[in-house]
Each structure stands twice: as structure tokens, then as C-alpha cells.
């Protein structure tokens, strides 16, 4: 087999591997024929790549542009034939059409949680991605002769569904992709093996050798794959947790990027549907809201959930939940709820629960977040569970909430990013300038939204003008919105006033039916702020105007006039609270682990901006880290090679003669391999030196240096006493420079970035060991 | 000839300045080669191989068409080392006694007296050995192996250096008895002289027009020198890796599917000895794989039998050995 034919076969195998990876993307698209276009583009590119490689040398450089052109022509023929010349040749109009389809596809992907519906735009986006993967795979497999690295684009195809979708990829798709990759490696091994027997005759032994070579490389890769699959199973902690790095908040814009349960709920927040979400029975006359989850981080536009810390300790092993954060003294009425979910939970699900939940009776593996008391499961078996909950009916005495003293469970509940419009903080201060304690301020804010602010509730707020800050637009211009906007705005303004705040999302209490049951419908989906009060913990407020959300209710402590601060009990409370706190902690050491006992009153100006460095910088740090990691990954082979080169240079200069010669000669070998000058295990040092000097057209000085290196190695290997000159390191340096100069810059760059010597497979002796040994002669 | 490597210094044959010169080989060898090359124009490889076999105490088989200088080579070699040269023209009616000598009844002394045959010489040139009957051929071959002549129950040793240079016309010529493979195995190496290059042939015309260059060839070394050189060759260092390499190579001929008969253990010994001589001729006190590679075809190929399929596919034993050499990894670093 000629080397050209080998390259062509390898090109086809590489395209085949990418093709086998296509089903990995299936979870992203619902149904349809999206894969046909991608397959056609990949097949066309493969044929062009293989065909060009059959041509004489040099045509390989044309492969990437030719493949790009092929992909473009095929995409034009499939997606924009009516605007193309002769139905397939790209014209400006067809390019415009493709561009339009691409951006439409991007919008569709942005606007819909996966799986997105199939369509021409989506198919084009995927085909473009597949073409890119095919191109990279071809360059890596054939041009750079590193087929193993084709796993990188394949890995990317595997990561996309894992990153945007909790469902993961199907076993079949993964197996197919893995098989394609292994097949590529096997073909590579076969190609390498068949390169061995130069003579046409040894067909049988050549085929055997190729087969063995192919099986060996594929076997190693298969073992690695099996390990990669088994290790996470053996270490269960690695399997969970990462899933919760999700976003997708009920912010003020419509971007949705995940299939987090939040997304569907958020959809409900604007819903007028009457579909029943859940039913429950309870003894309480005014049941609590059913909270599903809590958004605790504000990034300037959206409220999002911080990654949930998932520790083993958070597994609900009994019924009891962690202690209620910030709540001191435990004389609260317990209220039971029997909840029946009517709508299917996803595999990863948060439970709607009254806050604060104390006990939960439900089978399965559930976790509770100690900060928020959110309860969620990662492998939900029963999609419509029934469960019994015991909550606390918090009826805080308004007199005890007046303390303006701080005390926060965590700094993060006060963070306000730096990008927020200055007017918002001024507005918050002006609204609350008459209020002199925390509760009064909170109530003033709430009342401003529901009353004097003049807000109007509308599930379909007017479109946001281009480029406007959604928050500022809502607060200062339109003043039209629904629960999301009200909750988000009040929570932010509370933070600016120094009150720890967060946004809760879930359902209102719903409506009571004639038979005494409570029904919660989709239209009862709601968002509301929770504010923190020392000694009481988190309390909900209701800034959404009452005429809007039909079943919303203002809690007792937040309704009516603020209590008079001059009442005696109220005066006592600030000092009484810490005493009680200590007493409570003596009784129950585990109480409120997050509370700051040392927090000083008024420790922070409310409008200080709260530009917490860890929050606003998050994405950039991540991007920078990812870029650095990518750079390290790209440069890793070069680094490994440099380390090896350095070690050999040291040995060549300092080690014992034989070891020095060996190190220097090994470096010469790797240098030749890297630069594509070739190396044969059957070549003796001096034969290799003669060949390399001729192949690289070395000048006399460099050729002599090479000769000295070869002779040193020869004596080290075969002479009774190695004869190694002192010029070894200098010779090695001079030779490196000369050899590098002898190849074109592209080959030099490839040698630096993708040194082939790192992947060198040791050749095996052709003869079987164990043959009768020659008895040594005298001498 | 794949895998054949031209070595750095041997084209001119000059001793490397400052080399390992404590051996008796380099200087003599250089002079002997120069002397022979005045007779055999443009064939330094052939001269070198002949000298290698002489120093390795082996025997040489020269196989080629008539008239390319086979006999001339043998004669030149013998004259250059000032040894006795005997020429035996093999014909179908040649008898074993014509080679070894016979016991003749001495009338005056009433006893049998041994009359030594032409084999009692330093260089024995067996011309066209394949024209004689197998019986006569084996008489010579026994002398080669035993280094002695047994006639009438008395063993008479042959004095070293003793080297048989047999020439053989290729087997497809008329009226020949090709040597069986068991007999070929006794020759250390087989070479072909080949036709000279056009320029060398031109020079040859000039040279032979006057007197025979062989007549002008004066001895440049003595028989004792050759013995000393052979003695030194035995001491040339063969690293364990190189020994292993030789064994691997010989083993590869035995396992190759293209060969019906691989090389014998005697071939292994011959290859090592030849490699030692080859290294010594370069002034090197140790054998490198290049020596083995250069000698693999001449030393091994004539002992091998191709498998029928390989013969059908027009392979030659030389090709097969060259392929094995090209594929066999050289000994790895110690």
C-alpha cells in the first residue's frame, strides 16, 4: 500500500469517526432529519479529503480549503438551492440566505430549552458544527498523523449535550461514537503496521503485523474508555454535584439556556393556564406559599441560584430538615401539609414546600440545602410523588422585627454588583427615608410597589427598548410587569438598604375547593422576595400589586402600619435578642450555624454598591481559566517535549560517557521523528547519520557533528570502552539548529507543537526470542 | 541490495588517522588491497570481501559468468600475500586423488610415498568447481572443513593460511553439477564479480595491452603476516547486543515464510567471524551492526533455499536476506 493510499484511508476513517459521533447530538434536537445534512456534508468532505490525498505530494495542503469549499457548496445545495447558481454554487444571495438561517438557528437555540424543534436553521447550525469537527479531525488524523487527538472534537460533541442538558447522552450513541473512535485508531494501527513490510511478498506476515498493531492500539484505547466509565461509578461523589452548575433565572430578559426546572417554572410565571400543579390538604387557615427554590445571586441583570453545595451530610436520612437559618426560639405552631403533585417532576427536581419546612416524609434520595431549606433530588424515581410536610407557621411579632441591627447569614445576600443604575439606590433611600428600622423599610418598599409607586400588573409587559437596562426601565419608565419584576426589584433595593434579601420562586397558597382541599394551578406560579431579620430568619414580602396575582396574600407582619418603635417591648428587643441567641445556642449547638454573632449594627452603608469582587468577575475568571487550560492543553505536547529535551541535554553534558552518548542520540532520533525525517529501528547509528545528513542536506560542519554523535553512540553500544568526545552537547545544539533549518517553517511549527516523537510506538524485533543462543566465541 | 550500507572510510581504504592502530591488520590490509586493485580494476568491494574471508579463515565461492576475472582475483590474492597458489581446473574426469594427492609406490625404498596434491597450498583456486563430479567436489570440501588431507588412513594437516577460492559458473549453463546446499554451506561467503563499469573496462584494455599486471604484482606481505592478522581478528570485540543481533538475523531466515531452508548454526559462526574480520579491516576493534548488515547477503544468501511460492514470485535469496536486514531492529542500547 502506498503512503498516499494510506493517507486516503485514514482520512475516510477520521470522517467516519466524526460521523459516528453525530448521534451524540441527538438529545439536543427533537426528532426530524437534522442529521441528514450533517452526514451529507461530512461524507462530501471525506471524499474530497481522501481524493486529494491520492494526488501527488503537496496536494495535502489544499485539503482544508477544499473541504471548506465542499461543505459550503453542499450546505448551499441543501439549504439555499433556490438562490444558488445551478442549485449548488454559492452566490451572494445564497450566502446571505445561509447567514440568515444561521442566525435564526442561533436565536432558536437561545430561545428554547433543549431539545429544540428540528428545522432547516437548526440543521444548518449542526451541519456547520459537524463540518468544523470533520475539518479538525482530518487535519489531526492525517496531516498531523495524530489520530488519537481526533478524540478532542469528538469529546466536544459529547460535552455539548452534557453541558446543556441533564439527561446526558444515550448509551447507544456513546457506544457508537466510541466505536467510531476505536475504529479510527485501529485503522491507524493497521496503516502503521502495513508500512512495515517494504516488500510486496510478505503479505501474510504483514497482514498479521498490521492486525496486531491495530488491535493493540484499539485495545489500549478501549481499556482507557472502560476505566473512564467505571471510575466515576466507583467514586459516587464524583457523579453528583456538577449537575447543579446551572443558571436560567426568572430575570428580566427572556434568555433561556438550560433545561433546569426553573425554566419550566419560569414559563409558568407568565402563565394564565389553569392546569392543576398540585393539591394539598392542611389544617392551617391561611397556608404558606409553596416555595420551590431560592435565587440568591444577582449579576446585574438576572437573579440566579448559586451552585448548591451538595455534601453527604445534606442527604435527608430521616424526616427532619436542617435548622431554620436565623430563627431563634422555637415556639411556633407546627402545621402539616399533605401534598400531591399532579405534574411530572423531572429527573432532577426541586419540591414545592412551605417555608420553613421542618419535616418531610417522602421516599427516595433527597437533599436539603442548609442555607435555603430547598429540597431536591437528582434521581427522582416517582414523577408524581405524594408527601407529607410539617412546616412552621411563623407569626413574628412585628415589635421584635424593628431592630435595625444587622446580622446576616452570609455576605452574599448583600452583594449588589457594580453595574446597577445609581438611581435605583437613590430611589430606595427616598422611599424609605421616613422608616427608621428594618421592618419599616421593608414594608415601605413593599407598599411603594403595591401602592404609591403606581405600578400596573400585566403578564405581557411592553417590549423592552433596544439596549435599555431592564431593571431601570421597569422602575423608572414602564412600571408595568408581573411578579418576577416586582420580586427582583424589591430584593435588590432591600440589599441596597443593607437588608439581606433573596428571591423565592414557587406557588402561592392556591385556592380552597368546596371539599376543603387546596388546589394550586399553573397560574398560581409566583415569585417573591425574602428578607432576613435577625432572630427570625427569612420572611417573605409581597410587592406584587394585589389586583394582579389573584391568590397572592400579604403576610400579617408586613401589612398595616409599622408598629410604633416607642413601645417598651420594642425597646427591649434589640438587647433581648442576643441573650436569647446565646441561650438558644446553649440548648442546641447546631442552631443557625451560618449566623454571625459578632455582626455589628450598621456595619455597612446600604448604598456602598456592594461590588463584591467574587461575583461580578465570575464569568471572566472562568473564561480566563478556561482559556489558560486550553492553552496549557494545546501546549502540553510541546512542554513535555521540551522537558525531555532539556533532561537529555543535561545528561549529554554531565552523565557517564555511555549514558551521555545514549541521551544525545535519543535526542537526535526524536528530532528526526519530529521533523518528519523518519527513523528506522533497523538502521544503525552511522547508517542513520548518513541518511539524515543526505535527506536534510546538511552542511559539512553539521554533518560532522552528526557523525560524531553517531560514532559516540556506536562506541557506547558496541565497543568495549565507549569513546565519547567532550563536544557532545555542542554538537547536539548545532545539529538541532541545522536540522530545524532544513525543513519548511510549517514542519518546524508542527514539530514544536505536535512532536511526533511523543507518540512513537516501539518497534518489535521481527525474530522471535528464545531461539538457540550462540555460544560466545573467544575474544 | 537493500540494507547494504556504505561505510565511511572504506572507499579509499586508507587507514583512519589516529585510529585504533595497535592492530597488525590495518597497514597490511591496506597494502594488500592496493596491490590487488592494480589487477582487479574498479571492484574494491570484491577485493575487500576476499580479504575479509582470508582473515576470517574461511573459504570463498565466486559465482559468475566466465571471463570476469574470478581466477585473476584468486591469483592476485595469493601473490600479494606471498603465499603458494595452486590452481585446479575442475573437469568431469577429475578424480579426488588429483586434488588431495596420492600414495605412490617408491621402487627404491619399497614403500609408498605420498605425493601431495595441489590442495597443499595457501590459496587453492578451484576453477569451475561445478564442472567436476560430486565425488571430486566433496574431496575438496572435506579438505576445506577439516584443514587436513586424509589419504590411506594418514591425516596430513594443511598449513595455515589455507583458503579455497572456488569459482562456479551459474547453474543454468551447460555441463555442470551445481554444488548441493550442504556443500555450499561450507563456504563462508559467496560473491559475484560482475561486469566492470565501462570506464574500468577501458582502463583494463590499456593495462592488459602491455604485460599482464599479475606479473608486475609484487608481494606486499608474508604468510606469517596473514597468520598474525587472522590471530588478531579472533580477538575483535563482539558486544552481546551484536551477538544477539546475529542470532536474531539467522533465526529470521529460519522463520521466514519465503524460505524453505534457513541458515545453519555454522552460518552464525561464519557471520560472526566474517564480521570480526570486516571490522578489523576498517581498523575497528569491535563489531558494529553495520558489519553484520554488510555481510549478511554474501555470508547467508548462498545457504538458503527459497520456498516454491517465493521462487514462483521471482524472489531471490539475496532479496529476502536484504529485506530481513532492512526490517530487523538493530540491538537496542545496553
Instruction: Tally the domains of chain B.
Output: 2
CB count within 10 Å of CB B134 equals: 14
Q: Is A686–B255 a contact, with Cβ atoms under 8 angstroms apart?
A: no
pLDDT at B318: 87
Residues A5-40 have pLDDT tens digits of 888 888 899 999 988 888 888 878 877 778 888 888
Give CA angle at B225 (B219, B227), nearest 5°: 125
Is the pLDDT at A237 greater than 50? The verdict is no
pLDDT at A242: 38
Q: Is B255 on the interface with A (CB under 8 A)?
A: yes
Is the pLDDT at A455 greater than 70? The verdict is yes
Q: Is B34 on the interface with A (CB under 8 A)?
A: no
Cell numbers given for B112: 609408498
Q: Is B18 on the interface with A (CB under 8 A)?
A: no
Give CA angle at B333 (B330, B334), nearest 5°: 120
Q: Are residues B255 and B231 in the same domain?
A: no
Q: What percent of chain B is modeled with pLDDT above 90?
A: 5
Contact A253, A299 (CB under 8 A): no
Whether B28 maps to a domain, the answer reads yes
Q: What percent of chain A is modeled with pLDDT above 90?
A: 0
Q: Of the ranges A155-169, A228-242, A581-595, B217-231, which one carries the lowest mean pLDDT score?
A: A581-595
Contact B107, B146 (CB under 8 A): no
Strand positions, DSSP E, A39-113: none
Q: Are residues B229 and B250 in the same domain?
A: no
Residues B239-259 have pLDDT tens digits of 888 898 999 999 998 888 888
Q: Which residue among B202, B235, B268 closes a domain?
A: B235
Calculate the dihedral angle through the C-alpha atoms of B213, B216, B221, B226, rounding to the nearest 10 degrees: 40
Boundaries of every domain in chain A: 3-238, 261-396, 400-501+527-605, 621-759
Q: Which residue among B235, B268, B303 closes a domain?
A: B235
Q: Is A682–B330 a contact, with Cβ atoms under 8 angstroms apart?
A: yes
- The distance from CA A413 to its chain's CA centroid, rounded to whole angstroms, is 25
* A69 CB-contact burial (10 Å; exposed 0-12 / middle 13-18 / buried 19+): middle
- Model-wide pTM > 0.80: no
Task: Find the radius of gyration of the CA atoms of chain A.
Answer: 35
Rounded to two decimals, the ipTM of the complex is 0.77
Beta-carbon-side half-sphere exposure of residue B156 (alpha carbons within 13 Å):
16
Whether B207 maps to a domain, the answer reads yes
Question: A223 vs B327, which has greater pLDDT?
Answer: B327
pLDDT at A312: 54
Q: Are residues B226 and B240 in the same domain?
A: no
What does the pLDDT average to over A251-277?
A: 50
The residue range of the domain holding B152 is 15-235
Give me the residues paired with residue B157 across strands: B148
Q: Which residue among B205, B235, B265 closes a domain?
A: B235
Q: Of the ranges A375-384, A604-613, B71-80, B98-107, which one carries the lowest mean pLDDT score?
A: A604-613
Task: Find the radius of gyration of the CA atoms of chain B.
Answer: 20
CA distances for A65 relative to A42, A55, A153, B281, angstroms? 14, 16, 19, 58
Please state at what angle helix A728-741 crosses helix A618-654, rounded to 10 degrees.
130
CA distance A194 to A205: 10
**Residues in contact with A514: Cβ distance below 8 Å, sequence separation at least 6, in sequence order:** none
CATH number of the domain enclosing B299:
1.10.8.80
Whether B105 maps to a domain, the answer reads yes
Beta-carbon-side half-sphere exposure of residue A313 (alpha carbons within 13 Å):
3
CA distance B122 to A73: 83
Farthest CA pair distance, chain A: 116
Is the pLDDT at B3 greater than 80? The verdict is no
CA distance A674 to A753: 10
Selected residue of A198, A664, A687, A767 to mutate for chain B interface (largest B Cβ count, 10 A): A767
Do β-strands A456-457 and A518-521 pair in parallel, antiparallel, or remain unpaired? Answer: unpaired
Q: Are residues B49 and B72 in the same domain?
A: yes
pLDDT at A200: 41
Which has the closest alpha carbon to A373: A395, A387, A390?
A390
Q: Are residues B249 and B321 in the same domain?
A: yes
CATH number of the domain enclosing B231:
3.40.50.300
Nearest CA in chain A to B290: A684
Q: Which residue in A662, A686, A719 is closest to B290 by CB distance?
A: A686
Q: Is A776 on the interface with B (CB under 8 A)?
A: yes
Is the pLDDT at B18 greater than 70? The verdict is no
Question: A400-501+527-605 is classed in which CATH architecture?
Answer: Roll (3.10)
Q: Which residue in A690, A719, A768 is closest to B286 by CB distance?
A: A719
CA distance B140 to A252: 108
B residues 150..209 contacting A (CB < 8 A): none
Is the pLDDT at A616 greater than 50? The verdict is no
Chain A residues whose beta carbon lies within 8 Å of the beta carbon of residue B7: 686
Question: pLDDT averaged over chain A?
Answer: 74
Is the pLDDT at B77 greater than 60? The verdict is yes
Q: Are residues B102 and B23 in the same domain?
A: yes
Contact A290, A268 (CB under 8 A): no
Whether B190 maps to a domain, the answer reads yes
CB count within 10 Å of CB A585 equals: 16
Whether B2 maps to a domain, the answer reads no
* A68 CB-contact burial (10 Å; exposed 0-12 / middle 13-18 / buried 19+): middle
**Å between B247 CA and nearest CA of chain A:** 7
pLDDT at A114: 67
Strands of the sheet with A375-377, listed across from one edge? A349-350, A375-377, A367-368
Residues A735-755 have pLDDT tens digits of 888 888 888 888 888 888 888
Contact B102, B117 (CB under 8 A): yes
Whether B228 maps to a domain, the answer reads yes
Residue with cell 467514586: A235
CB count within 10 Å of CB A340 equals: 14
Residues A486-522 have pLDDT tens digits of 888 888 888 888 888 888 888 888 888 888 888 888 7
Nearest CA in chain A to B327: A682
Whether B101 maps to a domain, the answer reads yes
Give me the residues paired with residue A281 across strands: A338
Residues B148-177 have pLDDT tens digits of 888 777 888 888 888 888 888 775 566 677
Contact B269, A777 (CB under 8 A): yes
Q: Of the ranges A31-35, A171-175, B87-91, which one carries the lowest mean pLDDT score?
A: A31-35
Q: Is B323–A199 a contact, with Cβ atoms under 8 angstroms apart?
A: yes
pLDDT at A526: 84
Instruction: State the DSSP string of A140-171.
Output: IIIIS--GGGGHHHHHHHHHHHHHH-TT---H
Do β-strands B60-63 and B163-168 pair in parallel, antiparallel, or remain unpaired? Answer: parallel
Is the pLDDT at B272 greater than 90? The verdict is yes
Amino acid at each position: 500500500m502506498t503512503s498516499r493510499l494510506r493517507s486516503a484511508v485514514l482520512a475516510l476513517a477520521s470522517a467516519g469517526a466524526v460521523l459516528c459521533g453525530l448521534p451524540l447530538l441527538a438529545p439536543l434536537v427533537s426528532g426530524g432529519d437534522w442529521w441528514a445534512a450533517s452526514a451529507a456534508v461530512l461524507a462530501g468532505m471525506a471524499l474530497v479529503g481522501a481524493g486529494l490525498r491520492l494526488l501527488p505530494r503537496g496536494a495535502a495542503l489544499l485539503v482544508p480549503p477544499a473541504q471548506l469549499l465542499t461543505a459550503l457548496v453542499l450546505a448551499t445545495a441543501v439549504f439555499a438551492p433556490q438562490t444558488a447558481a445551478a442549485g449548488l454554487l454559492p452566490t451572494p444571495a445564497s450566502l446571505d440566505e445561509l447567514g440568515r438561517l444561521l442566525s435564526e438557528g442561533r436565536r432558536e437555540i437561545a430561545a428554547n430549552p433543549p431539545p429544540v424543534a428540528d428545522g432547516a436553521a437548526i440543521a444548518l447550525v449542526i451541519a456547520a458544527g459537524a463540518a468544523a469537527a470533520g475539518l479538525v479531525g482530518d487535519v489531526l488524523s492525517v496531516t498531523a498523523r495524530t489520530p488519537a487527538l481526533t478524540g478532542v472534537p469528538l469529546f466536544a460533541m459529547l460535552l455539548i449535550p452534557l453541558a446543556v442538558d441533564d439527561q446526558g447522552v444515550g448509551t447507544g450513541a456513546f457506544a457508537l461514537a466510541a466505536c467510531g473512535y476505536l475504529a479510527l485508531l485501529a485503522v491507524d494501527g493497521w496503516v502503521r503496521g502495513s508500512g512495515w513490510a517494504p516488500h510486496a511478498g510478505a503479505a501474510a506476515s504483514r497482514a498479521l503485523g498490521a492486525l496486531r498493531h491495530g488491535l493493540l492500539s484499539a485495545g489500549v484505547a478501549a481499556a482507557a474508555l472502560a476505566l473512564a466509565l467505571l471510575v466515576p461509578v466507583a467514586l459516587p461523589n464524583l457523579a453528583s454535584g456538577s449537575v447543579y452548575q446551572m443558571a436560567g433565572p426568572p430575570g428580566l430578559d427572556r434568555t433561556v439556556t438550560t433545561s433546569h426546572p426553573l425554566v419550566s417554572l419560569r414559563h409558568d410565571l407568565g402563565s394564565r393556564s389553569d392546569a392543576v400543579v398540585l393539591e394539598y390538604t392542611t389544617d392551617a387557615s391561611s397556608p404558606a406559599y409553596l416555595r420551590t427554590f431560592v435565587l440568591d445571586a444577582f449579576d446585574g441583570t438576572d437573579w440566579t441560584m448559586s451552585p448548591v453545595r451538595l455534601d453527604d451530610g445534606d442527604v435527608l436520612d430521616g424526616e427532619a430538615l436542617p435548622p431554620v437559618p436565623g430563627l431563634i426560639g422555637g415556639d411556633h405552631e407546627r402545621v402539616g401539609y399533605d401534598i400531591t403533585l399532579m405534574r411530572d417532576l423531572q429527573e432532577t427536581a426541586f419540591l414545592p414546600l412551605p417555608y420553613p419546612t421542618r419535616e418531610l416524609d417522602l421516599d427516595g434520595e433527597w437533599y436539603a440545602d442548609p442555607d435555603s431549606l430547598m429540597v431536591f433530588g437528582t434521581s427522582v424515581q416517582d414523577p408524581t410523588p405524594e408527601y407529607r410536610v410539617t412546616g412552621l407557621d411563623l407569626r413574628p411579632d412585628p415589635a421584635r422585627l424593628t431592630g435595625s441591627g444587622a446580622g446576616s447569614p452570609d455576605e452574599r445576600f448583600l452583594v449588589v454588583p457594580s453595574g446597577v443604575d445609581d438611581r435605583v439606590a437613590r430611589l430606595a433611600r427616598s422611599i424609605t427615608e421616613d422608616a427608621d428600622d428594618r421592618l419599616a423599610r421593608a414594608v415601605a418598599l413593599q407598599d411603594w410597589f403595591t401602592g404609591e409607586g403606581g405600578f400596573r400588573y400585566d403578564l405581557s409587559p411592553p417590549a423592552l427598548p433596544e439596549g435599555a437596562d431592564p431593571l431601570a426601565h421597569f422602575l423608572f419608565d414602564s412600571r408595568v410587569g408581573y411578579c418576577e419584576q416586582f420580586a427582583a426589584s424589591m430584593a435588590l433595593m432591600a440589599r441596597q438598604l443593607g437588608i439581606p434579601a433573596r428571591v423565592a420562586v414557587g406557588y402561592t397558597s392556591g385556592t380552597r375547593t368546596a371539599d376543603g382541599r387546596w388546589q394550586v394551578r399553573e397560574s398560581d406560579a409566583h415569585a417573591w422576595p425574602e428578607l432576613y431579620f435577625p432572630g427570625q430568619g427569612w420572611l417573605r414580602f409581597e410587592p406584587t400589586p394585589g389586583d394582579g396575582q389573584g391568590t397572592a396574600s400579604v403576610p400579617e407582619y408586613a401589612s398595616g402600619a409599622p408598629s410604633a418603635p416607642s413601645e417598651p417591648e420594642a425597646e427591649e428587643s434589640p438587647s433581648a435578642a442576643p441573650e436569647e441567641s446565646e441561650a438558644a445556642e446553649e440548648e442546641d449547638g447546631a442552631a443557625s450555624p451560618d449566623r454571625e454573632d459578632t455582626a455589628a449594627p450598621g456595619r455597612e452603608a446600604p448604598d456602598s454598591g456592594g461590588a463584591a469582587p467574587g461575583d461580578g468577575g465570575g464569568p471572566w475568571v472562568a473564561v480566563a481559566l478556561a482559556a489558560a487550560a486550553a492553552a496549557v492543553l494545546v501546549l502540553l505536547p510541546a512542554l513535555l517535549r521540551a522537558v525531555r529535551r532539556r533532561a537529555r541535554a543535561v545528561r549529554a553534558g554531565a552523565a557517564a560517557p555511555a549514558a551521555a552518548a545514549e541521551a544525545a542520540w535519543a535526542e537526535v532520533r526524536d528530532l528526526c521523528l519530529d521533523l518528519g525525517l523518519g527513523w528506522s529501528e533497523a538502521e544503525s547509528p552511522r547508517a542513520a547519520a548518513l541518511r539524515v545528513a543526505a535527506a536534510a542536506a546538511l552542511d559539512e560542519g553539521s554533518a560532522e557533528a552528526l557523525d560524531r554523535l553517531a560514532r559516540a553512540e556506536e562506541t557506547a553500544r558496541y565497543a568495549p570502552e565507549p569513546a565519547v568526545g567532550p563536544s557532545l552537547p555542542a554538537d547536539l545544539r548545532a545539529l538541532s539548529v541545522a536540522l530545524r533549518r532544513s525543513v519548511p517553517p510549517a514542519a518546524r511549527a508542527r514539530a514544536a507543537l505536535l512532536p511526533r516523537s511523543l507518540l512513537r510506538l516501539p518497534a518489535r524485533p521481527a525474530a522471535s526470542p528464545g531461539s538457540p543462543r550462540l555460544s560466545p566465541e573467544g575474544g | 541490495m537493500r540494507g547494504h550500507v556504505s561505510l565511511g572510510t572504506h572507499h579509499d581504504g586508507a587507514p583512519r588517522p589516529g585510529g585504533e592502530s595497535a592492530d597488525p591488520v590495518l597497514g597490511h590490509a591496506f597494502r594488500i588491497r592496493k596491490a590487488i586493485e592494480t589487477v582487479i580494476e574498479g571492484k574494491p568491494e570484491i577485493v575487500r570481501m576476499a580479504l575479509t574471508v582470508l582473515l576470517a579463515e574461511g573459504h570463498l565461492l565466486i559465482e559468475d559468468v566466465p571471463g570476469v576475472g574470478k581466477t585473476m582475483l584468486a591469483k592476485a590474492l595469493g601473490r600479494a600475500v606471498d603465499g603458494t597458489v595452486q590452481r585446479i581446473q575442475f573437469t568431469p574426469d577429475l578424480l579426488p586423488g588429483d586434488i588431495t594427492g596420492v600414495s605412490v609406490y617408491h621402487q627404491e625404498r619399497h614403500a609408498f610415498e605420498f605425493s601431495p596434491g595441489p590442495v597443499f597450498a595457501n590459496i587453492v583456486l578451484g576453477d569451475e568447481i561445478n564442472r567436476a563430479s560430486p565425488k571430486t567436489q566433496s574431496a575438496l570440501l572435506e579438505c576445506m572443513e577439516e584443514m587436513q588431507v586424509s589419504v590411506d588412513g594418514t591425516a596430513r594437516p594443511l598449513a595455515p593460511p589455507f583458503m579455497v577460492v572456488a569459482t562456479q559458473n551459474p547453474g543454468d549453463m551447460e555441463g555442470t553439477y551445481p554444488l548441493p546446499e550442504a556443500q555450499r554451506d561450507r563456504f563462508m561467503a559467496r560473491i559475484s564479480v560482475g561486469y566492470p563499469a565501462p570506464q574500468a573496462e577501458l582502463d583494463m584494455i590499456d593495462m592488459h595491452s602491455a604485460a599482464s599486471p599479475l606479473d608486475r604484482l609484487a608481494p606486499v606481505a608474508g604468510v606469517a603476516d596473514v597468520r598474525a592478522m587472522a590471530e588478531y581478528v579472533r580477538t575483535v570485540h563482539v558486544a552481546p547486543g551484536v551477538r544477539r543481533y546475529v542470532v536474531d538475523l539467522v533465526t529470521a531466515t529460519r522463520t521466514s515464510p519465503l524460505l524453505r531452508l534457513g541458515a545453519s548454526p555454522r552460518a552464525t559462526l561464519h557471520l560472526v567471524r566474517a564480521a570480526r574480520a570486516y571490522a578489523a579491516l576498517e581498523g575497528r576493534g569491535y563489531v558494529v551492526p553495520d558489519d553484520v548488515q554488510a555481510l549478511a547477503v554474501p555470508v547467508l544468501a548462498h545457504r538458503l533455499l527459497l520456498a516454491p511460492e517465493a521462487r514462483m514470485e521471482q524472489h531471490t535469496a539475496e532479496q529476502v536476506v536484504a529485506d530481513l536486514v532492512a526490517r530487523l531492529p538493530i540491538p537496542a542500547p545496553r
